[in-house]
Amino acid sequence: MTRTVTLVRHPPVELHYRTLCYGSTDVPLGPDGMAIAAQIVATLATQPIAQIVHSGLQRAAIVAEELAMRTGTVAHVDVRLREIHFGEWELQSWDEIYAKTGDAMMGMIQNPSAWRAPGGETMYELRERVLQWYRELPDTGDIVAICHGGPIAALLGTLRDLPVSDWPALIPKHGEITSLALPRTP
Protein backbone atom coordinates (compact mmCIF):
# COMPACT_ATOMS: atom_id res chain seq x y z
CA MET A 1 0.00 0.00 0.00
CA THR A 2 1.23 3.48 -0.83
CA ARG A 3 0.74 6.83 0.81
CA THR A 4 -1.17 9.61 -0.91
CA VAL A 5 -1.20 13.10 0.51
CA THR A 6 -4.02 15.32 -0.70
CA LEU A 7 -3.39 18.99 -0.05
CA VAL A 8 -6.37 21.33 -0.18
CA ARG A 9 -6.10 25.10 0.00
CA HIS A 10 -9.02 26.53 1.93
CA PRO A 11 -11.84 28.16 -0.08
CA PRO A 12 -12.09 31.95 -0.43
CA VAL A 13 -12.56 34.00 2.72
CA GLU A 14 -15.19 36.65 3.32
CA LEU A 15 -14.89 39.47 0.77
CA HIS A 16 -13.90 42.06 3.40
CA TYR A 17 -10.63 40.21 4.12
CA ARG A 18 -9.46 39.58 0.57
CA THR A 19 -7.40 42.77 0.28
CA LEU A 20 -5.87 42.30 3.72
CA CYS A 21 -2.81 40.41 4.87
CA TYR A 22 -4.58 37.85 7.05
CA GLY A 23 -1.88 35.16 7.20
CA SER A 24 -2.42 33.18 10.40
CA THR A 25 -5.38 35.30 11.59
CA ASP A 26 -8.59 33.30 11.93
CA VAL A 27 -10.92 34.80 9.33
CA PRO A 28 -14.20 33.26 8.07
CA LEU A 29 -15.13 31.87 4.69
CA GLY A 30 -17.37 33.98 2.49
CA PRO A 31 -20.60 32.71 0.90
CA ASP A 32 -18.73 31.64 -2.25
CA GLY A 33 -16.18 29.94 0.01
CA MET A 34 -18.94 27.96 1.71
CA ALA A 35 -20.24 26.80 -1.68
CA ILE A 36 -16.73 25.74 -2.73
CA ALA A 37 -16.28 23.97 0.62
CA ALA A 38 -19.36 21.87 -0.15
CA GLN A 39 -17.91 20.97 -3.57
CA ILE A 40 -14.57 19.97 -2.01
CA VAL A 41 -16.32 17.74 0.51
CA ALA A 42 -18.46 16.13 -2.19
CA THR A 43 -15.36 15.40 -4.27
CA LEU A 44 -13.19 14.03 -1.46
CA ALA A 45 -15.91 12.09 0.38
CA THR A 46 -15.91 9.46 -2.38
CA GLN A 47 -12.27 8.55 -1.68
CA PRO A 48 -10.96 6.20 1.01
CA ILE A 49 -9.48 8.53 3.62
CA ALA A 50 -7.26 7.26 6.44
CA GLN A 51 -6.58 10.66 8.03
CA ILE A 52 -7.96 14.21 7.87
CA VAL A 53 -5.91 17.05 9.28
CA HIS A 54 -6.39 20.82 9.21
CA SER A 55 -4.73 23.96 10.50
CA GLY A 56 -7.34 24.76 13.14
CA LEU A 57 -8.25 28.05 11.46
CA GLN A 58 -11.95 28.19 10.67
CA ARG A 59 -11.43 28.62 6.92
CA ALA A 60 -9.82 25.16 6.87
CA ALA A 61 -11.67 23.60 9.82
CA ILE A 62 -15.10 24.02 8.24
CA VAL A 63 -14.07 21.90 5.25
CA ALA A 64 -12.26 19.30 7.36
CA GLU A 65 -15.06 18.88 9.89
CA GLU A 66 -17.71 18.51 7.19
CA LEU A 67 -15.52 15.97 5.37
CA ALA A 68 -15.06 14.10 8.65
CA MET A 69 -18.82 13.94 9.18
CA ARG A 70 -19.39 12.66 5.64
CA THR A 71 -16.69 9.98 5.82
CA GLY A 72 -16.72 8.96 9.47
CA THR A 73 -13.02 9.82 9.71
CA VAL A 74 -11.96 11.98 12.63
CA ALA A 75 -10.45 15.36 11.69
CA HIS A 76 -7.37 16.42 13.66
CA VAL A 77 -5.90 19.88 14.17
CA ASP A 78 -2.22 20.45 13.51
CA VAL A 79 -1.20 24.09 13.89
CA ARG A 80 1.98 23.44 11.90
CA LEU A 81 -0.22 23.66 8.80
CA ARG A 82 -1.20 27.28 9.46
CA GLU A 83 -0.33 30.03 7.03
CA ILE A 84 2.81 32.07 7.58
CA HIS A 85 2.53 34.46 10.51
CA PHE A 86 2.93 38.03 9.28
CA GLY A 87 3.20 39.57 12.75
CA GLU A 88 2.29 43.26 12.82
CA TRP A 89 1.17 43.12 9.19
CA GLU A 90 -1.78 40.85 10.01
CA LEU A 91 -5.12 42.46 9.06
CA GLN A 92 -3.47 45.45 7.39
CA SER A 93 -4.23 46.04 3.72
CA TRP A 94 -1.54 44.95 1.29
CA ASP A 95 -1.68 48.45 -0.21
CA GLU A 96 -0.99 50.02 3.21
CA ILE A 97 1.88 47.62 3.82
CA TYR A 98 3.39 48.46 0.44
CA ALA A 99 2.93 52.20 1.05
CA LYS A 100 4.82 51.90 4.36
CA THR A 101 7.51 49.43 3.38
CA GLY A 102 7.86 49.48 -0.40
CA ASP A 103 9.01 46.13 -1.70
CA ALA A 104 10.27 44.96 1.72
CA MET A 105 7.92 41.97 1.50
CA MET A 106 10.18 40.60 -1.24
CA GLY A 107 12.52 39.69 1.60
CA MET A 108 10.40 36.54 2.05
CA ILE A 109 11.73 35.34 -1.30
CA GLN A 110 15.13 37.02 -1.44
CA ASN A 111 16.23 36.18 2.12
CA PRO A 112 13.92 33.37 3.30
CA SER A 113 16.12 32.31 6.21
CA ALA A 114 16.30 35.71 7.90
CA TRP A 115 13.63 38.12 6.65
CA ARG A 116 10.36 38.38 8.53
CA ALA A 117 7.55 40.90 8.84
CA PRO A 118 7.83 42.67 12.23
CA GLY A 119 6.86 40.08 14.84
CA GLY A 120 6.26 37.39 12.21
CA GLU A 121 8.11 34.31 11.03
CA THR A 122 10.54 33.63 8.21
CA MET A 123 9.71 31.58 5.15
CA TYR A 124 12.14 28.90 6.33
CA GLU A 125 10.46 28.76 9.75
CA LEU A 126 7.19 28.08 7.92
CA ARG A 127 8.92 25.43 5.80
CA GLU A 128 10.45 23.70 8.83
CA ARG A 129 7.16 23.34 10.70
CA VAL A 130 5.39 22.01 7.59
CA LEU A 131 8.22 19.55 6.91
CA GLN A 132 8.11 18.37 10.52
CA TRP A 133 4.40 17.58 10.04
CA TYR A 134 5.11 15.83 6.74
CA ARG A 135 7.90 13.68 8.19
CA GLU A 136 5.57 12.40 10.92
CA LEU A 137 2.89 11.14 8.51
CA PRO A 138 2.25 7.40 8.36
CA ASP A 139 3.93 5.47 5.56
CA THR A 140 0.64 4.29 4.04
CA GLY A 141 -2.92 5.47 3.54
CA ASP A 142 -4.72 8.43 2.05
CA ILE A 143 -4.17 11.61 4.05
CA VAL A 144 -6.15 14.79 3.42
CA ALA A 145 -4.74 18.09 4.70
CA ILE A 146 -6.92 21.19 4.53
CA CYS A 147 -4.58 24.13 4.91
CA HIS A 148 -3.19 27.24 3.23
CA GLY A 149 -1.26 28.41 0.20
CA GLY A 150 2.04 29.12 1.94
CA PRO A 151 2.43 25.73 3.60
CA ILE A 152 1.43 23.93 0.40
CA ALA A 153 3.93 25.90 -1.69
CA ALA A 154 6.70 25.42 0.89
CA LEU A 155 6.13 21.66 1.00
CA LEU A 156 5.88 21.22 -2.76
CA GLY A 157 8.85 23.50 -3.42
CA THR A 158 11.01 21.65 -0.93
CA LEU A 159 10.01 18.20 -2.18
CA ARG A 160 10.73 19.28 -5.74
CA ASP A 161 14.03 20.86 -4.67
CA LEU A 162 13.05 24.25 -6.07
CA PRO A 163 14.44 27.60 -4.93
CA VAL A 164 12.14 29.77 -2.80
CA SER A 165 11.82 32.17 -5.74
CA ASP A 166 9.80 29.43 -7.52
CA TRP A 167 7.45 28.77 -4.59
CA PRO A 168 4.87 31.52 -5.31
CA ALA A 169 3.97 29.74 -8.57
CA LEU A 170 3.14 26.63 -6.49
CA ILE A 171 0.45 28.35 -4.42
CA PRO A 172 -2.82 26.71 -5.49
CA LYS A 173 -6.03 28.61 -6.09
CA HIS A 174 -8.49 28.79 -3.21
CA GLY A 175 -10.30 25.47 -2.97
CA GLU A 176 -7.84 23.69 -5.25
CA ILE A 177 -7.10 20.03 -4.52
CA THR A 178 -3.63 18.62 -5.16
CA SER A 179 -3.15 14.88 -4.65
CA LEU A 180 0.39 13.56 -4.56
CA ALA A 181 2.00 10.19 -4.14
CA LEU A 182 5.10 11.52 -2.43
CA PRO A 183 8.25 10.05 -0.91
CA ARG A 184 8.38 9.49 2.86
CA THR A 185 11.00 12.15 3.67
CA PRO A 186 12.31 15.09 1.69
HSE (side-chain half, CA atoms, 13 Å) at 158: 23
Mean pLDDT of 172-176: 97
Predicted pLDDT at 114 = 94
Rounded CA separation 7/9 (Å):
7
Rounded CA separation 185/182 (Å):
9
Average pLDDT, rounded, for the chain = 94
Asked if the model's pLDDT at residue 155 lies above 90, the reply is yes
DSSP secondary structure string for all residues of 153-171:
HHHHHHHTT--GGGGGGGP
Q: Can you identify the CATH homologous superfamily of domain 3-180?
A: Phosphoglycerate mutase-like (3.40.50.1240)
pLDDT tens per residue, range 76-134: 999 999 999 999 999 999 999 999 999 998 998 899 999 999 999 999 999 999 999 99
* pTM for the full predicted model: 0.94
Domain boundaries, the chain: 3-180
pLDDT tens per residue, range 23-55: 999 999 999 999 999 999 999 999 999 999 999
